[in-house]
Amino acid sequence: MSRDLRLRATFDRAAATYQDARPDYPAELYSDLLAITGATPPAHLLEVGCGPGKATLPLARRGFRITAVEIGAALAAEARHRLAEFSDVSVITSSFEEWAPPAGARFELAYAATAWKWVDPEVKYAKAAGLLTPGGHLAVWNADHAMPADFDPFFTEIQKVYEEIGEGHGGPWPPPPPEDQTDPVAAEFDASGHFTVVGTKLYVWASRYTADEYIALLETFSGHIAMEPAKREHLYQEIRRHLAVRPDGRLTRHWSVVLTVGRRL
């Protein structure tokens, strides 16, 4: 397994804070997801990598039956706690690759929210397709840092600190705005031989953060969790220093999500 896939284990350390620190996905995304797939309650859904239930709760509240698979024991426990009122939702502690579903289990929709890239590419598409009903759908989305034309200059300032500590971006700065980026997941769907893409949509929004709120967010990212403590402490000190000179002490971070939906061939 690659180093990147091994990093997925770091998220369990953020189980207690992940739900509140990470932004909610746009309500419009769920409406679009259901419109594209035609899924209606009480259809049985499969979630890959549910974390503490960030994307599970909105669909559970709509009346869907959900089987959620989560590799982190602490994250799975947090999800069970948050989803306790929904008797038709079960959370399984396992990696998706190693999970053995009940014999004959089939789902109308499988989905992964900011988790699909952490699943072994040699396994994920074939296994998902095998668990779907004929004509069933796979939906994937990922919350990323967006850099539109008017992005907050704080991120250029703090990027210099990342470079100084050897944790640089590794590409041109700033990255292209979200509307100019291609969707690599759509190409993966097509190349898998198991799905054809039937819908994609981009969502972009902005959130405001104090230094404490932003550091809490960073503490849910695998690279920051795994960062050497001295580097991390220096970075956080610089974040506080840069924001302390602002009148309101806040930054604006833009988020982007691309929803990609494929139908099983």
Of 158, 151, 157, residue with least CA distance to 175: 151
Q: Which of 175, 181, 169 is nearest to 149 (CA)?
A: 175
Distance between CA 233 and CA 32 in Å, rounded?
A: 41
What's the gap between Cα 88 and its chain centre?
23
Alpha carbon separation from 82 to 11, 85, 124 (Å, rounded): 17, 8, 27
Q: What are phi and psi of 101, to 5 degrees?
A: -70, 160
Distance in angstroms (rounded) separating the CA atoms of residues 262 and 265: 9
In the chain, the number of structural domains is 1
8 within a domain of the structure (yes/no): yes
Per-residue CA distances from 16 to 73, 76, 184 (Å): 12, 11, 31
pLDDT at 3: 47
Residue 106 in any domain: the answer is: yes
Q: Residue for token digits 């967010």?
A: 217
Its pTM stands at 0.95
Task: Take residue 7 and report the two structure tokens written for it.
Answer: 């990093």
User: Would 166 be classed as within a structural domain?
Assistant: no
Angle, vertex CA 197, rays to CA 191 and CA 201, nearest 5: 125
Instruction: Indicate whether 239 belongs to any domain.
Output: no
For residue 58, is it within any domain? yes
Is residue 169 in some structural domain?
A: no
On whether residue 125 sits in a domain, the answer given is yes
Cα(200)–Cα(139) distance, rounded to whole angstroms? 9
Query: Is residue 182 domain-resident?
Result: yes
Quick check: helix, strand or coil at residue 170? Answer: coil
Closest by CA position to 53, among listed 22, 9, 8:
22
Range of the domain at 56: 3-149+177-207+253-264
> Three-state SS for 18?
helix
Q: What angle do CA 169, 49, 20 make, to 5 degrees?
A: 70
Which residues have a Cβ under 8 Å from the Cβ of 92 and sit 6 or more positions away? 67, 68, 69, 70, 76, 99
Report which of 222, 213, 218 is spatially closest to residue 250, judged by C-alpha positions.
213
The CATH number given to whatever domain includes residue 99 is 3.40.50.150
Structure tokens at 194: 């198991």
Tens-digit pLDDT string for the chain (265 aa): 444 666 888 999 999 999 999 999 999 999 999 999 999 999 999 999 999 999 999 999 999 999 999 999 999 999 999 999 999 999 999 999 999 999 999 999 999 999 999 999 999 999 999 999 999 999 999 999 999 999 999 999 999 999 999 998 888 889 999 999 988 999 999 999 999 999 999 999 999 999 999 999 999 999 999 999 999 999 999 999 999 999 999 999 999 999 999 999 9
How high is the pLDDT of residue 172? 86
